[in-house]
């Protein structure tokens, strides 16, 4: 059977049957997702963090319909927010009509900074560091011969003069190809190994030597075309373009616009055991690269009148090391996703971010964001009011019909339903 990410009726299945359906759609082993069903391992948590007292479970769902670079992909997403996975799945379904998502990525290059203080002639100190480039790179690569054997390692060294309120610093940037790792440990180890020599060469004292999460040399890109007729016509396309243009021009709108992108990105990053804070820091710093915080994505109308969306952002994620390696649920999520390299994970994650962004813009340009979101949120409200599994659908139906999704009203509706029995 051919792989497919189209799963009609998926949302209506019980949880255990959803796992089975997802695995069958991709032709994967029946027990692959067992770690997601078994819950957290307290002993593992104790090894992963200090002073562990337990774990906090986050729901993991599957976004369907994704076609990325011609491949059928089911995307695991870890999120507590209602409507995120449904929105991504619907956006991916619309994108399929014009071929799905096309992606690309740069080499997986991360950077470490080495701050040198007390340099009397900082401009000359910067040049001296560049003169010592080959020596410093050799020292860095000696720290991780395995990475070098796999085609990675320190690639280049640059240097900057950075004025500050406390003085002027010379800052070296060590650029490292980290291959399939996120790279923090390798990059930090290399930076520490060369720091003392870098300080001597620059004519000062090395202070900070640590990775930067502004991962602007490790970029991922995604684009998709959305059929104008499927969206509801030219007016909807124009309104989405207007909504996106405001986010490009206005930092107040951009903050929420980019949060929508990160709803998708962070959910995939978390599900695969990667560092959500690193990815978020890189994305938001990139959004301010021009000097003003702005939208990460772009939406335009092409010559055929269809909507074209594109997204480019730093994507420092990996498949080697960290929780991705040690956490069974993260490994299961990676296996479901079907990626074998960090570059594939970079690109798919970016495609999900674009899908999420498009879904939010479309909702804003048409019915408003609350209708779909509150329909799903009503399930949580009903459960919080004490509704049982057989009562939740009836409570949700009434709350949504009334347009009043509140805890007090849910309690009243639940009482009415029980009285009707």
Residue-wise DSSP of 305-339: S-EEEEEEEE----SBSHHHHH-HHHHHHHHHHT-
Q: Which residue in the list 81, 216, 238, 411 is annotated as catalytic?
A: 81
User: Between vectors from CA 244 to CA 226 and to CA 65, what angle results, nearest 5°?
Assistant: 35
Q: Is 373 a catalytic residue?
A: yes
How far apart are alpha carbons 355 and 96 in whole angstroms?
Answer: 11
Q: Which residues pair with 177 in a beta bridge?
A: 109, 153
Q: Which residue in the list 90, 327, 373, 377 is annotated as catalytic?
A: 373
Q: Which H or E run includes 364? A: helix 342-365
Q: Which residue in the list 259, 300, 301, 397 is annotated as catalytic?
A: 259
Q: Is 286 a catalytic residue?
A: no
From residue 61, give the alpha-carbon distance in Å to each of 22, 112, 173, 286, 333.
11, 35, 39, 28, 10
User: Between vectors from CA 283 to CA 275 and to CA 186, what angle results, nearest 5°?
Assistant: 45
What phi, psi does 22 have (nearest 5°)? Answer: -65, -45
How far apart are alpha carbons 189 and 195 in whole angstroms?
Answer: 10
- Ramachandran bin of 102, using left for φ above 0, alpha for ψ from -120 to 50, beta for the remaining angles: beta
The side-by-side arrangement of strands in the sheet containing 307-314 is 102-105, 219-226, 307-314, 297-301
Q: Is 284 a catalytic residue?
A: no
Q: Which residue in the list 275, 306, 312, 391 is annotated as catalytic?
A: 275
Q: Is 259 a catalytic residue?
A: yes
Residue positions annotated with a catalytic role: 81, 259, 275, 373
């Amino acid at each position: 059977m051919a792989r497919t990410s189209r799963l009609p009726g998926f949302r209506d299945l019980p949880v255990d049957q959803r796992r089975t359906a997802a695995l069958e759609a991709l032709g994967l082993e029946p027990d692959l997702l067992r770690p997601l069903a078994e819950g957290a391992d307290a002993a593992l948590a104790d090894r992963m963090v200090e002073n562990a007292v337990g774990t906090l479970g986050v729901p993991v769902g599957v976004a369907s319909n994704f076609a990325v670079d011609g491949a059928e992909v089911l995307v695991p997403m870890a999120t507590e927010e209602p409507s995120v996975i449904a929105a991504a799945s619907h956006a991916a379904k619309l994108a399929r009509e014009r071929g799905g998502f096309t992606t690309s990525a740069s080499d997986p290059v991360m950077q470490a900074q080495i701050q040198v203080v007390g340099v009397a002639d900082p401009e000359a100190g910067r040049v001296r560091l560049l003169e010592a480039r080959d020596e410093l790179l050799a020292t860095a690569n000696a720290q991780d011969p395995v990475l070098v054997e796999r085609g990675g390692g320190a690639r280049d060294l640059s240097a900057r003069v950075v004025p500050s309120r406390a003085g002027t610093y010379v800052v070296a940037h060590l650029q490292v190809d980290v291959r399939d790792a996120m790279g923090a440990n390798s990059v930090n180890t290399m930076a520490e190994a060369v720091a003392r020599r870098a300080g001597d060469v620059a004519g000062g004292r090395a202070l900070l030597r640590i990775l930067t999460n502004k991962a602007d040399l490790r970029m991922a890109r995604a684009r998709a075309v959305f059929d104008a007729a499927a969206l509801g016509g030219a007016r909807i396309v124009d309104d989405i373009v207007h909504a996106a243009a405001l986010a490009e021009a206005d930092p107040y709108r951009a903050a929420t616009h980019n949060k929508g992108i990160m709803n998708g990105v962070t959910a995939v990053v978390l599900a695969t055991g990667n560092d959500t804070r690193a990815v978020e820091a890189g994305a938001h710093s990139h959004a301010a690269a021009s000097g003003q915080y702005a939208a990460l994505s772009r939406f335009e109308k092409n010559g055929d009148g269809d909507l074209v969306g594109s997204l480019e952002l730093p994507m420092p994620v990996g498949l080697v090391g960290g929780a991705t390696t040690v956490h069974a649920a993260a490994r299961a999520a990676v296996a479901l996703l079907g990626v074998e390299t960090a570059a594939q994970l970079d690109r798919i994650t970016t495609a999900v971010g674009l899908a999420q962004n498009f879904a939010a813009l479309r909702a804003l340009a048409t019915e408003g964001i609350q209708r779909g979101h509150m329909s799903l949120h009503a399930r949580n409200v009903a459960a919080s009011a004490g509704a049982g599994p057989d009562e939740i659908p009836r409570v949700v139906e009434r709350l949504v019909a009334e347009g009043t999704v509140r805890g007090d009203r849910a309690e009243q509706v639940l009482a009415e339903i029980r009285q009707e029995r």
